[in-house]
Amino acid sequence: MGRLVLGPLLRQVGEHTATVWVETDKPGEVNVLGATSLTFTVHGHHYAIVEVGGLAPGSSTPYEVRLDGEVVWPEPAMADFPPSAIRTVDPGGPLRVVFGSCRKALAPAATHGADALAAYARRLAAGGDGWPTALLLIGDQVYADNPPPALREFIRSRRDVSTPPHEEVLDFDEYAELYRLAWTEDPAVRWLLSTVPTLMIFDDHDIRDDWNTSHTWRREMAALPWWPRRIVSGLGAYWIYQHLGNLSPAERNADPDYAAVRAARNDCGKIVDEFAARSDSRPESVRWSYAQDFGGTRLIALDSRNARVLDRDHRAMLDDPERAWFEARCTGGVDHLLIASSLPYLLPPAIHDTEAWDEAICAGAWGRRFARLGERLRQGTDLEHWAAFQTSFREVAASLVETVRGERGDPPTSVTLLSGDVHYSYLARVDGRPINQVVCSPLRNPLAVRLRRANRAASRHVLRLPFRWLARAAGVKANPFDWRLTDGPWFDNAIATIDIDGRTASVRWETPAREGRNERAGMSELGRAALTQPAPPSRDP
């Protein structure tokens, strides 16, 4: 009898359809609620994506997974958790999106604290909270450059780690084991992923720290003999483990690369490798971004890593096809617009201006000597967010302003950007406009104390003016609008919840409870705020 290696993962769910993803220990036929799919094989690993249709909107349907007719899910070890169920989108009902980023599974609790995703899963299993419409994981689902001890042991058992990349992930087999460990080590998290529709987008550590920071970074990495294998394996694994499940059945079945994989009679590792290599060398040929409408709310998830343009004379966060795709979806005609980017679009203003300054001097605003210094700062202190891609920042700003002004259709009540990456959480509001930035990071990977102090200081509004002057001295234009942090920063491991009901929207952040804190079913509230209230007027000098 076969078994599940990983999963089931409940992925994109619509009003009538659902996607269930599994990895099995042998080839076979996978069945969910009467829908079937044959497995496909990639480098010796077996996967199936089952597309369930004919479901009623707003319904809840418990399900089992069968492999060649035998029940392989639920497993006996999951008997303490409620049955896994598919809950379809109710287009007229409220929407709840739970999100977070930066989760190090299997890390020691003494150094990394409690896992916010696991704490949330246990509360949900105990019936302690309303059911989410979707879980959004926005970056660093796995750490390929700093894997957990269990994976390091696996790596040491199969190759010599005295040579680069040492104990970092190298190939597809090691990625497969990394995903397995991350999503099975805690039974509560495994249950959560089986029963809450989950959408994902990558950030740098899914591949490697500072992935695609700059032209110089790409040149330096390309010179390493092990890098081609790493990037091909990382993107191929991401496509299978994360990306394919983000798509609707219609989108997935229109994908020629997925069709080639499904049609392959033997191991299709070569097909996946060729696709991944093309994605790296010609990123404009592949789109990792995706979108989904939930009744009156549109979610747009942006690729802010692989879609970058890093030419010497041109930098952009989004290449031309990605930008055009975003423009076609960043419109009115919806009640709320959620835009997910692993990297915060709106940083604390002083940090934003520092990154804009650094981009300018890297481009030669203060000469070659400062350009070299700027590149060292960029790579050494992670100055690579939207602020460091000023052309793209301003293009997106123009799109957002046009949308909330009603120039692209009836304006939404709120536009909210959802991000992670920075290892602290906060809310920023654009002055005078219904545009918000909600950041929730990390799920489990706390920032070092010295970096907390630095980021807390940089978040103070009083520091904005000197850094603004610094950016202007390097020729950076004035920002297209002003914003300020109104809530946070919080440095706890945390998970955030966006609640939308009709024309109203709100957010709350929670962290695993510690003794002495006001807790609710094992979690403490860090903060909450309305997202549809008028933004405060500007008080900038």
Identify whether the C-beta of residue 451 lies closer than 8 Å to the C-beta of residue 380: no
Cross-strand bridge partners of residue 24: 4, 46
SS3 content of the chain, % helix, strand, coil (to 5): 35, 25, 40
Alpha carbon distance 2, 16 (integer Å): 30
Render 396-425 in DSSP notation, one character per residue: HHHHHHHHHHTBTBSPPSEEEEEE--SSSE
Per-residue pLDDT in tens (0 to 9) along the chain, 541 residues: 899 999 999 999 999 999 999 999 999 999 999 999 999 999 999 999 999 999 999 999 999 999 999 999 999 999 999 999 999 999 999 999 999 999 999 999 999 999 999 999 999 999 978 899 999 999 999 999 999 999 999 999 999 999 999 999 999 999 999 999 999 999 999 999 999 999 999 999 999 999 999 999 999 999 999 999 999 999 999 999 999 999 999 999 999 999 999 999 899 999 999 999 999 999 999 999 999 999 999 999 999 999 999 998 899 999 999 999 999 999 999 999 999 999 999 999 999 999 999 999 999 999 999 999 999 999 999 999 999 999 999 999 999 999 999 999 999 999 999 999 999 999 999 999 999 999 999 999 999 999 999 999 888 877 889 999 999 999 999 999 999 999 999 999 999 999 999 999 999 999 998 754 445 668 999 999 999 965 445 444 3
Identify whether the C-beta of residue 174 lies closer than 8 Å to the C-beta of residue 143: no
> Looking at residue 71, what is its pLDDT?
98
> Looking at residue 128, what is its pLDDT?
79
Give phi and psi for 191, each to the nearest 5: -65, -45
Identify whether the C-beta of residue 76 lies closer than 8 Å to the C-beta of residue 64: no
Kindly report the three-state secondary structure assignment for every residue of 150-171: HHHHHHHCCCCCCCCCCCCCCC
**Single pTM value for the model:** 0.96
> Looking at residue 541, what is its pLDDT?
35
Helices (H), 312-389: 320-329, 349-362, 368-380
Classify 2 as helix, strand or coil: coil
> Looking at residue 515, what is its pLDDT?
52
Q: What dihedral do alpha carbons 85, 91, 96, 98 form, nearest 10°?
A: 70
Segment (H or E) for 495: strand 495-501
Alpha carbon distance 277, 195 (integer Å): 33
Q: Which tokens sit at 80?
A: 């303490």
Burial 11-43 (b: 16+ CB within 10 A, else e): bbbbbebbbbbbbbeeebebbbbebebebbbbb
Task: Give 169's Cβ-side CA count (13 Å radius).
Answer: 30
> Residues 409, 415, 420, CA angle at the centre, nearest 5°?
145
Cross-strand bridge partners of residue 45: 42
Which residue shows structure tokens 């210094």?
A: 373
